[in-house]
Amino acid sequence: MSISHRRLRESLEPLAGSLKKIRLSRQTPCAPSLNGYVLGMSDQWLLLWQFHDFYPDGFTIVRMDGITSYRCGEYEEFWTNMLRQENVATELPSMAIDLSSTKSVLRNLQKTDQNFIVESEAPDKDIEDFYLGRATRIQNTQVKFASFDALGQWDTKLQTIEFGEITRLQFDTPYTNCFSRYTDGKCPFPIRYAK
């Protein structure tokens, strides 16, 4: 971890688990900023209860080394108070995800038995690999992932995604939950749960 990332993490740590809304800036053009509440963090990953305007937008886990800065100032304080008064964010959700490694994050998401999103974002272009589905097998440096397309059809082949390519994961989002209700049946591949 570089000195700048260590300082960033140290300054973010007091906000983890607090009802203080923040705005993250990231190096990727795909999603250059994220808003929400920090639920947890490690040297490698940060878990955010993400918000879109006045609405909770599920949870996202982003790489710490992809965060360039954050803001937790008067604008975020105003939104924190507004969301509290609207009874939208009066307490943080309980979330037990081991963020110590990519493998542990994937294991935790696999155990939920729900579909989730894996993203591999380019740092300099608005291009990403986007997979919605399930982790079928988690290995030491990669995950085998069953995904479905924009018509809800499961792919006939598994995707192999290297851990180092993963920049963001999302789960329990309205997008994921709605799409999952309209897929063409259950995952066609056996799921080998990691130990």
How do residues 46-65 score in pLDDT, each as one tens digit? 999 999 989 999 999 999 99
Residue, of 128 and 110, whose pLDDT is higher: 110
The C-alpha torsion from 74 through 43 and 69 to 2, rounded to 10°, is 140
Which domains does the chain possess?
3-85 (2.30.30.100), 102-181 (2.30.30)
Residue, of 86 and 195, whose pLDDT is higher: 86
pLDDT digits 0-9 by tens, 148-172: 998 999 999 999 999 999 999 999 9
Among residues of the chain, what percentage have pLDDT more than 90? 82
Q: Tell me the pLDDT of the chain averaged across its residues.
A: 92
- Sheet-wide strand order for 55-63: 67-71, 22-26, 33-41, 45-52, 55-63, 168-171, 116-121, 128-138, 142-147, 159-162
- Asked if residue 83 lies in contact with residue 53, where contact means CB atoms within 8 angstroms, the answer is no
Taking the whole predicted model, whether its pTM rises above 0.75 is answered as yes
